[in-house]
Amino acid sequence: MTALSLSCDERLIAGLRAVCADLGLDPSGARLLRNVNNAVFRLRRDPVVVRLVTLPSYIPRAKLVVAAATVFAEHDVPAIRLLPGVPQPVRVGEYVATVWQAVRPTGPRPGGVDLANLLRAVHAVPLPCRGLPRWDPLTDFDNRVRHTLTMSTADRSFLLGRSAELAAAVAALPFPLPTAVLHGDAHLGNVIPGPDRPVLCDFDSCAVGPPEWDLTPVVVGNVRLGKPASHQRDFIEAYGFDIRAWDGFEVLHGIRDLKLIAGVFPRAGSPPAVQAEFDRRMASLRAGRRFERWRTVRR
């Protein structure tokens, strides 16, 4: 976590201040928790988290996030909750944000069993479910590829071609599990160890679709990022379905790989390590090395 005055560019600072001024909150001393597609700030004087959208393509997702949070609250899914009494998403001039009740991360470190139980609660939400789109894992990826200006033409062409191949393959898959509400980006980095119980966060990818997708990130994280094997073992045992044994897993693995490479798309001002890891992952994908280990880098 980094002090606001030291690590944020002026636009993020201005956005946070504008949102806080509109809501009567105090941004002084706020800390930046994360800055990928959203800049996530924990306020110091109020038990509030402000999630400021930083990519134009993610502005429509703010409505999705609010819809998902509302559904999870209605069905008592253990998840972060929106700040009550605030019409959301919050729009102040050019800035769009969602505002949340802060959760103190003081509980035990979550593991595979915790994530499996959280996903069982998500997948048990009754259908039909208003406000959530059908699962579409690649359209947003394609848009990000097209709008990443610092990417070479060759890399852009390869990624769009690979995405098209996987889109055709996933459309032909017969999924064995019944359609359900999905978290969409189900890994332990999106679980907060709250004081009462672990809770889910980050609802940008929520949708209605095959639960198999939510079972994929833990396994791919073990392969690509060296996540603890015990998390994968405990997760599979607690959920009761081993995604690795299903014939369609290779396709979902391929889609998850694209999601992971999007996390290191180069952009202006990125550290050299980000560009190096992007190049490394691209070489891995081009060579078809499905089990090569990738490095975790900070933007």
Tokens of 82: 């929106």
- Of 20-24, 128-132, 182-186, 281-285, the poorest mean pLDDT is in 128-132
Highest averaged pLDDT of the listed ranges 7-16, 29-38, 221-230: 221-230
Output phi, psi for 141, to 5 deg. Answer: -60, -45
| Residue 129 pLDDT class (50, 70, 90 cuts) | confident
Residues 94-99 have a mean pLDDT of 96
For residue 159, give Cα distances in angstroms to 166, 256, 275. 11, 13, 16
Among 96, 23, 101, 16, residue whose Cα is nearest residue 62: 96
pLDDT at res. 235: 97
- Whole-angstrom CA distances from 253 to 24, 41, 103, 175, 218 are 45, 32, 32, 15, 11
**Mean pLDDT score, 80-104:** 96
| Amino acid identity for residue 94 in this structure | E
Residue 268 has pLDDT above 80, yes or no: no
Q: Quote the mean pLDDT of the chain.
A: 93
Residue 149 neighbours by CB under 8 Å, 6+ apart = none
- pLDDT score at 2: 44
Judged by average pLDDT, the poorest of 48-62, 158-172, 221-235 is 48-62
Assign 145 a pLDDT band (cuts: 50, 70, 90).
Answer: very high
Tell me the C-alpha distance between 274 and 296, whole Å.
9
Residue 209 near residue 183, CB atoms below 8 Å: no
CATH superfamily of 112-287: Aminoglycoside phosphotransferase (APH), C-terminal lobe (3.90.1200.10)
pLDDT > 90? residue 269: no
Which of 110, 98, 106 minimizes the C-alpha distance to 40? 98
Q: What angle do CA 138, 183, 259 make, to 5 degrees?
A: 35
Q: Please report which confidence band the pLDDT of residue 46 belongs to, taking 50, 70 and 90 as the band edges.
A: very high
Domain boundaries, the chain: 7-101, 112-287
Residue 229 has phi, psi (to 5 degrees) of: -60, -30
The reported pLDDT for the residue numbered 221 is 95
Question: Residue 192 and residue 26: Cα distance in Å, rounded?
Answer: 24
**Predicted confidence band at 3 (pLDDT cuts at 50, 70, 90)?**
very low
Helices within the chain (DSSP H only): 4-7, 10-23, 59-74, 112-123, 139-147, 153-171, 216-225, 229-239, 249-262, 272-287
Amino acid letter, 104? R
Residue 8's pLDDT is: 55
Nearest Cα residue to 52 out of 78, 2, 89: 89
Over residues 91-100, the mean pLDDT reads: 96
pLDDT class of 299 with cuts at 50, 70, 90 = low
Beta carbons within 8 Å of 176's beta carbon, 6+ residues apart: 212, 246
Amino acid at 146: R
Architecture of domain 7-101: 2-Layer Sandwich (3.30)
pLDDT beyond 70 at 5:
no
Other residues' Cβ atoms within 10 Å of the Cβ of residue 291? 8
Indicate the pTM of the whole model.
0.92
